[in-house]
A = this chain, B = another copy of it.
Amino acid sequence: MNVAVMGHGTVGRSVVRLLENDPSICVKYILEIPEKCTEEKMVSDPEIIFADAGIETVVDALPGVHPSFELIQRALSCGKNVVTSNKAALANDFRALLDLTSENGPKIWCEATCGGTIPVIKEAASLSGTNEITHCYGIMNGTTNFILDVMKKEGREFTDVLLEAQRLGYAEADPTADICGFDVKNKVILLSSICYHGMVTKDFPVFGIEKISKEILDSLAAEGKTVKLLGISVRKENRYAIGVVPVIFDVSSLEANVPRNFNMFTLGCTNAGDVKLYGQGAGGDPTADAVIRDLKDVQEGSGFGRSYFDCDLVYDPGLLKGEGIIDKEKVSGTLEELSGLACRKNAFFAFLPDFLK
């Protein structure tokens, strides 16, 4: 199979390098900006890729919504399968992209958009075929987990550990997308949409970890608790609620013990019960490995098509109730109510959903 890889950053470069050892998949083109086209197979005009009938599948390893979203649209319209690691582009309008797939034509694969190497997208699709998935949640961001884990274990302050995370390459120079929950937002949109077989809203409470201090972690620890940043959603029939929020866990829970920059996802299934998946949620080779597993699945035939979203989902924030801590005050209500209150107070906010008690 001949493929084109769009983007030559951390993930794209790993994809190209790992595929050098795979005789079944040949990288024919790499899309790069003109200044960086240093190899023969590098092109800066995507239309060269789309016009080549020998390219069956395009790998999107670009960051950010644009131009990735438009390139995926164009690739699908030209009959090319799309394997993407770009959560922002896909979460921008997954349904619109699925509408460009067809029964016997191109499809979308997106294991690497959520949880890096962790096969959570594939298993969400598989488990949702034989179960109703009633909830999904997870530690979906390695940067924030690294910061919270080091703060807790070493008793250090947020800004101090953030600087270390930046030095180690776990946090970007501008860490906003990770720290404030926007990266998790895209992931929980995609995972929930796949679990529940319909597109979820992009308008829901999103909190980050920037207000979590050593003092807060110490006071939680005194009660045998800690806090982890979760993407979380629940579903009942065709209604669902969703959010990104620091969630309180017992120190003996699995989530509380997820170390450093690792991720852990939970899929709550009617027959299978809770299934959890853990691994590297980012990084060149782990993420590229998920991309390449998707390419293997392309060869075997599968992928997400327009018929996958067969459920019209209705956002119902009343489904996600629990207890919150706003500053030091304990309050009960829905995630939406409590997050509104915390926003108005510009306060620290952590949540414990009823279904996790």
Q: CB distance B289 to A280 under 8 Å? A: no
- In the complex, the count of this chain's copies comes to 2
User: Is A38 part of the binding interface, using a Cβ–Cβ cutoff of 8 Å?
Assistant: no
Measured between beta carbons, the chain B residues less than 8 angstroms from A176 are: none
> CB of A140 within 8 A of chain B?
no
Say if the beta carbon of A151 comes within 8 Å of chain B. Answer: no
A127 is contacted by which of B127, B257, B293 (Cβ under 8 Å)? B293
CB-based nearest B residue for A21 = B130
Beta-carbon contact of A276 and B277 below 8 Å: yes
**Which residue of B18, B22, B285, B293 is within 8 Å of A126 (Cβ)?**
B293
Structural contact, B286 and A273, CB atoms closer than 8 A: yes
Minimum CB–CB distance for A76 against chain B, Å: 22
Q: Say whether A346 faces chain B, with CB atoms less than 8 Å apart.
A: no
CB-defined contacts of A269 to chain B, threshold 8 Å: 117, 289
Which B residues are CB-close (under 8 A) to A275?
A: 117-119, 277-279
Chain A residues 120 to 159 lying within 8 A of chain B, measured CB to CB, are: 122-123, 126-127, 129-131
Of A272, A275, A285, A289, chain B has the most CB atoms within 10 Å of the CB of A272
Contact sample, A vs B, 28 pairs, CB 8 Å cutoff: A22-B130, A117-B269, A117-B272, A118-B275, A119-B119, A122-B126, A127-B289, A127-B293, A129-B293, A130-B289, A130-B292, A130-B296, A253-B257, A254-B257, A254-B258, A254-B278, A256-B257, A272-B279, A272-B285, A273-B280, A274-B279, A274-B280, A275-B277, A276-B277, A276-B278, A276-B279, A277-B277, A300-B301
